[in-house]
Amino acid sequence: MCGITGIVTQNRDDIGALLVMCSRKLTYRGYDSVGVAAVKDGVVNLRKDVGTIDDVDRALGLSKMRGDRGIAQLRWATYGAPTKVNAQPHFGCTEDFYGAHNGNIHNFAEYRKELIDTGHIVRSENDGELCVHAVDKYYEQTDDMFEAVRLSTRDLKGAFAFAVGRADERKIYAVKMGSSLVAGVAPDATIVSSDLPSILPLTNRVVYLRDGEMVVLTPEEVKVYRIEDGRELDRRPEVSNVDPHAAEKGGYPHFMLKEINEQPQVARDVMGVLEGAKSDDWLRLIEDASQKYLVACGSSYNAGIVGTYYFNRLAGVPLIPVIGGQFIPMYGNALKDDSLCILVSQSGETKDIINVLNLVRDTGRGKTLGVVNVIGSTLMFGADAYIPMACGYEVSVPATKTYFSQTIIFAYLAARLGERNGTLDPSEAKRFVGLLRDDLPRLAQTTIDRTGILTKNLAQTLMNERDLYCLGYGFTDGVAREGALKIKEICYNHCEGMYSSEFKHGPLSIVTDNYPVIFVTTREDSWMVINHINEVRARHGRTIVVGEYEESLSHYVDRETDYLRVPESDVLINPLLDVIPLQMLSYYLSVDLGINPDLPRNLSKTLTVD
Ligand code: F6R
């Protein structure tokens, strides 16, 4: 949520263009409002308004702003409505101080009052403004920007990062206090940002930061300090091998479609990682734990549900899936020294997950295994060990390829655990891992090719349905929830994902003539799902089926579009494929409804707030 970018150049005067070019890569983090503070000859010029970066740039000429340093921010509103005055960056009491933040300041109300009571001119309802005032306050006391920024963090409670500058200094300061922040060193500039994609247009020399650290950008270098005592740390830039063009659409109309189409390659890449050297360490960590919790949010949680079925089936190992925000109230007190929390997060920054990471670290009860996509994220650095999803950037707000990668990771780990604990015959484990490695990429491609037109046509027929259900059974439980989440998220239709045997315990009453219910099934469960289909059809509902072709199922659909057939495969590979037509259906439905699926309203890809 929210993206900040700060740049200090050596001999350039085009700070607006640089900030817009780099910040545009953070659009997935927030698109409610945008602002740029550009400093030229010791004067700060601030332009900001409601809208996407492209809208505001067009209206206010952000990219034409001149200067040699500045800060830009893309906002996803939490504290304060998305209005011009709440847009970031902000000034302090005077226009000498400018800055912007990402995250939440939890003591917002008390601190805002305290600042106002002591004479600060606070203009907005946004917590980011308080960061600038906190620095302003300590500058009054110390006359030293470095100390002012360092001390300001003592007043601010919450998880956040901010960048701040003073009009008369050719420097930008930034702190990392629980939200993501990375820096970079280019030949003619330095940069600090909420995320790597906005650094890469300028440089691949990246400085990764940890919580409790502060960076100072000068035109030539980035220096890292410990906030606690101001001690300088020896942190050199590392060369990032992430492809800077990965965050481009590459000919696709939307990132979402591009990312769906990348899934065959993701299957290859993640299997390369899993069959590499470290997987025995990950397996040992899982084996050594008495209780194994799988903690995740949104799509990552849905993938975890699928994983739970694999762990049970292939390894006889119970995983306890828990929604990130529920973990502490539900299981926090039950953690034991030998508990394991498998923390699954694409961004590696989701606050609900980081809270659990911090709990385990602070209490010393248990261990953590991260499953993470963003390299350099808080989860990656903080977990006892981490498994990379190997997806490259996922730019589109709806998760697709990272969900796919997560399900492959769980299927693989389950097979290897089962082989090691004797639940699975070694030859069967070898065969299944071979299918994941050798067959899944091709099958995923066939699924995309085969269901593309069909899902496009099906979407046309669902355009006016404001309400539907997506039901799964057994392995397809998590798949159905994921399909429903995609439809809700990018089509703004109510779509509930649930267990199909549970539908008759209440929700069935919603079914009337042609009420649409999507059933996701595997070959082994279709006999049961047919019972549930009949319950809907007996009330004249419309049934749509996702799964392999089976004669018995074909009788329960009324038109060709209503049977989204994935290619025939092993019964345990099938649940991995079933999600693809649901991703494509939601994509086409979203586009047909005139929505940009990459940037659904009210959302942000990285949720660093509680
Ligand atoms: C849905 C989606 C979200 C995320 C959720 C967790 O398409 O993208 O539901 O899955 O916000 O995010 P991560 O995995 O970054 O922790």
Q: Residue-wise over 200-224: b if at least 16 C-beta within 10 A, else e?
A: bbbbbbbbbbebebbbbbebeebbb
Centre of ligand 1 to C-alpha 417, Å, is: 27
Cβ–ligand 1 contact at 346 (below 6 Å): yes
For ligand 1, atom 3, name the residue with the nearest CA.
298
Distance CA 318, CA 335 (A): 16
Substitution site in 300, 355, 386 for ligand 1 pocket (most atoms within 8 Å of beta carbon)? 300
> pLDDT per residue over 95-122, tens digit each?
999 999 998 899 999 999 999 999 999 9
Centre of ligand 1 to C-alpha 298, Å, is: 5
Cβ–ligand 1 contact at 345 (below 6 Å): yes
How open is the CA angle 197-198-202, to the nearest 5 degrees?
A: 110
For residue 251 the two structure tokens come to 């000919």
Q: What are the DSSP calls for 101-145, one per residue?
A: EEEEETTHHHHHHHHHHTT-----S-HHHHHHHHHHHHHHHHS-H
pLDDT score at 278: 83
Cβ–ligand 1 contact at 353 (below 6 Å): yes
Residues 6+ apart with CB under 8 A from 482: 299, 302, 303, 403, 497, 579, 582
Which burial class, exposed, middle or buried, applies to 55 when counting CB atoms under 10 A from its CB (0-12, 13-18, 19+)?
Answer: middle
Substitution site in 297, 344, 407, 610 for ligand 1 pocket (most atoms within 8 Å of beta carbon)? 297
Q: Which of 2, 22, 470, 495 is catalytic?
A: 2
Assign 182 a pLDDT band (cuts: 50, 70, 90). Answer: very high
For residues 486 and 432, the answer to whether their CB atoms sit within 8 Å is no
Distance CA 37, CA 65 (A): 9
Q: What are the DSSP calls for 189-223, one per residue?
A: EEEEESSGGGTTTT-SEEEE--TTEEEEE-SS-EE
Cβ–ligand 1 contact at 398 (below 6 Å): yes
pLDDT score at 73: 97
Q: Which of 176, 292, 486, 605 is catalytic?
A: 605
Strands of 538-579, DSSP E: 542-548, 563-566
> pLDDT per residue over 171-181, tens digit each?
999 999 988 89
pLDDT score at 242: 79
Closest CA to 81 of 602, 487, 435, 511: 602
Cβ–ligand 1 contact at 298 (below 6 Å): yes
> pLDDT per residue over 502-550, tens digit each?
999 999 999 999 999 999 999 999 999 999 999 999 999 999 999 999 9
Average pLDDT, the chain: 95
Question: What percent of the chain has pLDDT above 90?
Answer: 89
For residues 155 and 94, the answer to whether their CB atoms sit within 8 Å is no
pLDDT at position 1 over 70 = no
Atom of ligand 1 nearest to the CA of 400: 7
- Whether 456 sits among the annotated catalytic residues: the reply is no
3-239 and 250-424, same CATH topology? no
Cβ–ligand 1 contact at 607 (below 6 Å): yes
Substitution site in 347, 352, 402, 595 for ligand 1 pocket (most atoms within 8 Å of beta carbon)? 347
Assign 217 a pLDDT band (cuts: 50, 70, 90). Answer: very high
Centre of ligand 1 to C-alpha 351, Å, is: 11
| AA letter at 314 | L
> pLDDT per residue over 296-328, tens digit each?
999 999 999 999 999 999 999 999 999 999 999
Residues 6+ apart with CB under 8 A from 517: 468, 469, 470, 471, 503, 511, 536, 541, 542, 543, 544
Cβ–ligand 1 contact at 356 (below 6 Å): no
Cβ–ligand 1 contact at 347 (below 6 Å): yes
- Whether 605 sits among the annotated catalytic residues: the reply is yes
**Length in residues, the chain:** 610
**pLDDT (average), residues 397-413:** 98
For residues 128 and 94, the answer to whether their CB atoms sit within 8 Å is no
Assign 475 a pLDDT band (cuts: 50, 70, 90). Answer: very high
> pLDDT per residue over 334-353, tens digit each?
999 999 999 999 999 999 99
pLDDT score at 330: 98
Distance CA 575, CA 415 (A): 15
Centre of ligand 1 to C-alpha 302, Å, is: 10
How open is the CA angle 539-540-542, to the nearest 5 degrees?
A: 120
For ligand 1, atom 4, name the residue with the nearest CA.
298
For ligand 1, atom 16, name the residue with the nearest CA.
345
Centre of ligand 1 to C-alpha 297, Å, is: 6
Closest CA to 481 of 403, 410, 388: 403
Closest CA to 424 of 321, 524, 318, 311: 311
Backbone angles phi, psi at 517, to 5 degrees: -130, 125
For ligand 1, atom 9, name the residue with the nearest CA.
298
Cβ–ligand 1 contact at 297 (below 6 Å): yes
Centre of ligand 1 to C-alpha 306, Å, is: 16
Residues 6+ apart with CB under 8 A from 279: 412, 413, 416
pLDDT at position 244 over 80 = no
Assign 199 a pLDDT band (cuts: 50, 70, 90). Answer: very high
**pLDDT (average), residues 552-561:** 93
pLDDT score at 602: 85
Interstrand relation of 563-566 and 3-9 (parallel, antiparallel or unpaired): unpaired
Q: 90-104, 254-268, 272-286: which has the minimum mean pLDDT?
A: 272-286
> pLDDT per residue over 36-83, tens digit each?
999 999 999 999 999 999 999 999 999 999 999 999 999 988 889 999
Centre of ligand 1 to C-alpha 188, Å, is: 36
CB atoms within 10 A of CB 466: 10
Distance CA 520, CA 329 (A): 32
- Could you tell me the CATH superfamily of domain 250-424? Glucose-6-phosphate isomerase like protein; domain 1 (3.40.50.10490)
Substitution site in 353, 355, 583, 607 for ligand 1 pocket (most atoms within 8 Å of beta carbon)? 607
Atom of ligand 1 nearest to the CA of 347: 15
Fold that domain 3-239 belongs to in CATH:
Glutamine Phosphoribosylpyrophosphate, subunit 1, domain 1 (3.60.20)
The three-class DSSP label of residue 183 is strand
For residue 34 the two structure tokens come to 């945008």
Fold that domain 444-605 belongs to in CATH:
Rossmann fold (3.40.50)
pLDDT score at 11: 87
Cβ–ligand 1 contact at 256 (below 6 Å): no
pLDDT score at 355: 96
Centre of ligand 1 to C-alpha 534, Å, is: 34
pLDDT at position 377 over 80 = yes
Distance CA 225, CA 385 (A): 25
Cβ–ligand 1 contact at 489 (below 6 Å): yes
pLDDT score at 561: 93
pLDDT score at 608: 79
pLDDT score at 249: 85
Task: Name beta bridge partners: 71.
Answer: 6, 37
Type and span of the H or E element at 229: none
pLDDT score at 29: 84
Atom of ligand 1 nearest to the CA of 299: 10
pLDDT score at 159: 85
Centre of ligand 1 to C-alpha 371, Å, is: 13
pLDDT score at 298: 97
Centre of ligand 1 to C-alpha 374, Å, is: 13
Question: What percent of the chain has pLDDT above 70?
Answer: 100
Distance spanning both ends of the chain, measured CA to CA: 11
pLDDT score at 593: 96
> pLDDT per residue over 561-582, tens digit each?
999 999 999 999 999 999 999 9
Chain-centroid distance, C-alpha 208: 19
Cβ–ligand 1 contact at 350 (below 6 Å): yes
Where along the chain do its domains lie? 3-239, 250-424, 444-605
Assign 423 a pLDDT band (cuts: 50, 70, 90). Answer: very high
